[in-house]
A and B are shown apart, each in its own frame.
Chain A
Amino acid sequence: MYKKKRGVIGIIITIIILILLVVFTNRNVNQMSYIENICNILVMPIQNGFTYLKNKLSGNDAFFADIDTLKQENEALKEENSKLEQSLRELEIIKAENETLKEYVNLKDKYQDYTTMPADVINRDISNYSSTIIINVGSDDGVKEDMTVIADSGLVGHIISVTSNTAKVQTIVDTATAVTSKISTTDDTIIVQGTLDDKTALKATFIPTDAVVLAGDSIETSGIGGIYPKGIHIGTIREVVNTSNITDRYAIVDTAVNFEKLTTVLVITNNI
């Protein structure tokens, strides 16, 4: 009986540890402000007391003399601050709306030569070592192998197999995908490949020795290779890693598409 109880407690503890592991490993450090708050609540009252005492002892207590005036001033400032925050929020909303509208107009202009078909992502890869997605259009809708798939912000990948109602897409962040692309500012040709390390970034290799590559440069498809059409945005260079041999240098490219939140895509049905 005691052994059975101990087993159940062990399982409960393991489940709690698992949940904590999942929560903490998937959070950014800057999203942990609530923990910071809790820690602050624990130490700050005593710390404030110590600071007050220290100031008293060192004769630096003039700061606390007119505390009532300071409180009033603080209230007025708080009110002003909230008003400013509200107007800032309104401006942010307008800015976001403006950017979305601009994006739509640009996308329409940019990809107006292609005939596209919208599709939803219905399944994702269950392996940690590859990155494929399943979309809800297939051969019945005119989708074929090797067709290019894009999203509103850039290149997603290409179709590797088709059924009557679904299609399997190998994304550009998959380790088996290599896309011949070019740096849009200099027109230098490079190869971008998916890595195991980061599913939001690509590794750009075969950078020409005379090419000037800078962080922030935009990368787009070159049209070489026969699968991806020319001029589709892939991402921007995050950093250039220089090695002792210049031919081995490589760059990390942040993908334009957020693959974790990808829900809708466009299949280009007429590669030109």
Chain B
Amino acid sequence: MKKAVSIILLIISFFIIYYIQSNLFTWFTIAGIQPNLFVLLTLFIGLFAGKKLGLILGIIFGFFLDVVIGRQIGISGIMLGIVGLIGEYLDKNFSKESRVTIMLMMAGCTVIYELGCYVFNLITLEINLEIISFIKILLIEVIYNLILVIILYPLIQRMGHALEEIFKTKNILTRYF
């Protein structure tokens, strides 16, 4: 029951983020560059709720974004799914209790997500390769995402631990002991 409620809450948070991203961050930009809160949300799910939910919700969120506003369907779903999977891997190898670690995870995931999407679009849409412009935009986007992680860190920690308790606590069946 708790799991179902949490998943519904995560989906609601996705929609809230979608409206914030398309209404606030289209003008609240750094040098015309928007942050990417969807990567943050998917990484958060992967880190605290596990790879299964991270992968599934990442694919669903990405697919939704592609359908609603994307140029072609598929790549955002795949890349957000990968971010969800990476979340679980990072959880196993690094501590989530440090702000700096979360920031580094976020920077890495933003780079992986945007690089994946760009390369895919480069191949399928036959767009011109603009390496310097891409790196410039990516750097600003990463910085913006990091600033948001700094601001949202207490919320990430609090919500994350609540989510972890629901999804990652092992239930010990005492009758077998």
Q: Quick one: which of B1-43 are within 8 Å of A by CB?
A: 18, 21-22, 25-26, 28-34
Q: Which residues of A contact B97 (CB under 8 A)?
A: none
Contact across chains for B33 and A17 when beta carbons are under 8 A apart? no
Q: Is the CB of B150 within 8 A of A11?
A: yes
The answer on a CB contact under 8 Å between B151 and A124 is no
Please report which residues of chain B, range 72-93, place their CB below 8 angstroms from some CB of chain A when the two chains form the complex: none
B69 touches A134 (CB 8 A): yes
Task: State the majority secondary structure of interface residues on A.
Answer: mixed
Q: How would residues 197 to 215 of chain A score, 1 for a CB under 8 Å from any chain B CB and 0 otherwise? A: 1010001000000000000
Q: Are A22 and B28 in contact (CB under 8 A)?
A: yes
State in angstroms the CA–CA spacing of A223 and B153 once bound together: 53
Residue of A nearest to B17 (CB): A126
Contacting pair A129 B114 (CB below 8 A)? yes
Q: How many residues of chain B have a CB within 8 Å of chain A? A: 37
A120 contacts the other chain (CB 8 A)? no
* With A126-B22, A160-B71 as contacts: A14 and B151 at CB distance below 8 Å: yes
Q: Lowest 8 A-B CB distances belong to which pairs?
A: A196-B133, A25-B31, A176-B125, A175-B127, A14-B150, A197-B133, A196-B130, A126-B21
Q: Which residues of A contact B (CB under 8 A)?
A: 7, 10-11, 14-15, 17-18, 21-22, 25-26, 123-130, 132, 134, 160, 168, 170, 174-176, 193, 195-197, 199, 203
Subset of 15 A-B contacts with CB under 8 Å:
A11-B153, A18-B30, A26-B32, A123-B68, A126-B25, A128-B141, A129-B117, A129-B137, A134-B68, A175-B127, A175-B130, A176-B71, A176-B125, A193-B128, A195-B130
